[in-house]
Amino acid sequence: MHAGEDLEAMKAMESNVLLTGVVSFHAQQCSEKCFKAVLIEYKDSVPRIHDLVRLHALVVDLCQLENIDMDILRELSDLYIDTRYPSEFGTLPTGRPDLEDASRFIKFAQSLHERISIMMKKL
């Protein structure tokens, strides 16, 4: 899964306070690619959307992802929009993500990636 590359990039930058926005962007990308991999597997088509909440709604019944932290999905989606249409590169409503935010996003993306990878191997 290409999401693994984003995961590795996040881990490589995790402790760099100057790259928290980039880490957050890769967490969004990893999550988006995980959801889209499920859609490709089950639906053979992928919508051209980047909103993680909407993508989650499309896959939740396909791969038993009911207990996902929706707050993090919303945060990552908002960060993605800011990186694509920057007012300030990769910001949260409270400002630029800090190391704690980046760590939360990495853990979330890593957990999602692991869950999706395990599910895909069973197919």
Query: Across residues 96-104, what is the average pLDDT?
Result: 93
DSSP conformation letters of 50-111: --HHHHHHHHHHHHT-TT--HHHHHHHHHHHHHHHS-SSTT-BTTBS--HHHHHHHHHHHHH
More confident: 106 or 121: 106
How many Å apart are CA 99 and CA 14, to the nearest integer? 8
Give residue 61's pLDDT.
86
Residue appearing with tokens 């999602």: 112
Query: Across residues 26-54, what is the average pLDDT?
Result: 93
Give residue 58's pLDDT.
94
Give residue 94's pLDDT.
65
More confident: 80 or 118: 118
* List of domains in the chain: 3-122 (1.20.120.330)
Q: pLDDT of 58-73, one tens digit each?
A: 999 888 777 899 999 9
Q: What pTM did the predictor assign?
A: 0.88
The whole-chain average pLDDT of the chain stands at: 87
pLDDT of 93 > 70? The answer is: no
Cβ count within 10 A of residue 116: 23
